[in-house]
A and B are shown apart, each in its own frame.
Chain A
Amino acid sequence: MKLELGNFPVNDVSFGPATRYSGGALQINKRQLEQAILKDSRLSSAEIQLAKPGESCRITKIHDALQPMVKVSGPGTVYPGVCGRPVVTVGTGRTHRLTGVTVMELAEMPMYEGYDSPVEDFVDMSGPAADLSPFSETTNIGLRLVPDPGLSILDQNEATHSAALWVSDTLAGLVRDLEPPDTEVFELPPCDPALPRTVYIQCMRSSEHYSNQVYAFWTAIYGLTRLTPPWLLHPNELLDGAVSAGSPYHGPAATSWVYANNPVVMDMYRRHGKEIAFAGVITIRTRWSAQFEKDITSTQAAKLAQMQGAKGAVITWDAGGNDFMETIRTVQACEKLGIKTVFLTGEESPESGGPPLLEPLPEADAIVSTGFGGHANRSMQTLEEVEKIVGFETIAENIMLPKEQVTARRGVQYFRGRDIYGFSKISAFDF
């Protein structure tokens, strides 16, 4: 599977009379795009708002952040399977991307009816919390969307996510037929057999357990959010958006843009043939509700790694709570098959009074910690007032009580934002 990625850097985004891309400048006809979005009668209001790096700006109620991209050749569409898009296998041919920008889906309703689905994450474009998210360095094209509240939560999410995908398709479409200034080829040719075959195991929570629906919006693999057995994916499929949409309960790191720009995948890819033989991506779903299901997931994931000839595995997860069990058991199952693991994870803040990891199994002996997330530093507990809000003016004071909303402009607690994949620049010393 060979994929050519053509990157078109965007160094300026502005509103203007036309929607076009020229020499790094992206211009958007705001009214025209908003009116086009509103042709979908499921939406009652749509507004495009820009958030730029360095601004005193907070972006609120982020359902998803999309990497604007479009397939130029090769089968399928980017972000396959979501909102009715074709499920054809992606990851070959050529895809063009606008880099340095995201399209953000901002809406107030939860992902599904359920206690852990409120959309109360946020991104600061400057200040101490800016470093906790990659989006403080991209220009974020925010779509502030209000769907018809008479629709079911599922239909509201379908409407807003479809709108965000349409804007992403439209903007990326501007560069479909242009020659990219920068192209990178992604393939995994056979390499020196002495290099250790290494897989990346990505553990992703499914929304099925709490939502009690198989179709509830959440992190999707080819559009499927339900609990499924382990998947063997080619990293090119991730680059084309086969893993998409968000689990905003766990912070802005869990968004389409991040999965398509996953630093673990990019790093392993660029080391293929030099330090490792990148042997593929195994994606598992977590939050199964019975012990034996968690055990199957982990033993089968390890078996897939073994069948790929893996000698090593890098493992990440994107959730909290008992999702940890599938994850740590995957670490354990790999180690028991002689596959060396590195577990990349955040840890519980010492203020919680509990251990840093929920269930520290002895086989997990090589762990890279990304810190405590938003609680990393006491000074981040209450963030400063900002001049501009992109999205909605209120935010939950406490994510466990989403109905109690406070002004987002003023100091809010950074209670979420675990650094799942290692984007942040925060380091720590252990004494």
Chain B
Amino acid sequence: MAKEIEKAGIPVALISALYSLALTTGSSRVVRGTRIEHVCGNPRLSPEKDRELGMRIIGTAFKALQTEVTGPTLFDPEVEMLGVLA
């Protein structure tokens, strides 16, 4: 799906818990998600920390959309958003 949308000229950031699969199947911008059951967060954290994690992941996705890539690239929220939501 991501590849088809990109073929239409719209960049796609794919947030996936199984990011290695997303990379090997050729998605250009892959954002590391948490788990299949909860990709953009972690319900085991407190509500505030869960939201902060979600914002970090979504923020990384927006950053990925604005980044030129030459092939399948992994964007890791822990790395990309370091210090942004301190």
Task: Give A residues with C-beta under 8 Å from B.
Answer: 209, 289-291, 294, 322, 325, 358-359, 361
Contacts and interface: CB of A to CB of B under 8 A. Distances in A.
A291 B19 contact: yes
Interface string B29-65: 0001011110000000000000000000000000000
Nearest to B37: A289
A361 B19 CA distance: 14
B20 A289 contact: no
A359 B21 contact: yes
Contact of A359 (B24, B36, B37): B24
Contacts of B35: 289-290
B25 interface: yes
A359 B36 CA distance: 18
Contacts of A358: 21
Nearest to A209: B36
A290 B24 contact: no
A325 B21 contact: yes
A322 B36 CA distance: 10
Contacts of B81: none
Contacts of B2: none
B24 A289 contact: no
Q: Is the interface of A mostly helix, strand, loop or mixed?
A: loop
Contacts of A289: 17, 35-37
Contacts, number: 27
Given A322-B18, A325-B20, A290 B25 contact: no
A322 B35 CA distance: 13
Contact of A325 (B18, B32, B34): B18
Sorting the interface of chain B by its residue count into under 10, 10 to 19, 20 to 34 or 35 or more gives: 10 to 19
Contacts of B20: 291, 325, 359
6 contacts: A289-B36, A290-B36, A291-B20, A291-B32, A325-B20, A325-B21
A32 B18 CA distance: 53
The 9 closest A-B pairs by CB, nearest first: A289-B36, A290-B35, A289-B35, A359-B24, A359-B21, A322-B18, A291-B18, A325-B21, A289-B37
Contacts of A209: 36
A322 B21 contact: yes
Given A291-B18, A361-B24, 13 more contacts: A289-B17, A290-B35, A290-B36, A291-B17, A291-B32, A294-B18, A322-B18, A325-B20, A358-B21, A359-B20, A359-B21, A359-B24, A359-B25
Contacts of B36: 209, 289-290, 322
Contacts of B24: 359, 361
B71 to A, nearest CB: 16
Nearest to A290: B35
A327 to B, nearest CB: 12
Interface string B1-29: 00000000000000001111100110000
Nearest to A294: B18
A290 B21 contact: no
Contact of B34 (A290, A294, A322, A359): A290
B56 to A, nearest CB: 17
A372 B19 CA distance: 27
Contacts of B21: 322, 325, 358-359
B55 to A, nearest CB: 20
A239 to B, nearest CB: 35
A325 B17 CA distance: 12
A290 B34 CA distance: 7
A210 to B, nearest CB: 10
Contacts of B34: 290
Report which residue of A209, A291, A322, A361 has the largest number of chain B beta carbons within 10 angstroms of its beta carbon.
Answer: A291
A358 B20 CA distance: 12
Nearest to B19: A291
A299 B36 CA distance: 21
A359 B17 CA distance: 15
Nearest to A322: B18
Nearest to B36: A289
A140 to B, nearest CB: 37
Nearest to A289: B36
A191 to B, nearest CB: 39
A359 B25 CA distance: 7
Nearest to B20: A291
A373 B2 CA distance: 29
A289 B21 CA distance: 13
A122 B25 CA distance: 34
Nearest to A358: B21
Nearest to B32: A291
Contacts of A325: 18, 20-21
A325 B16 CA distance: 14
Contacts of A359: 20-21, 24-25
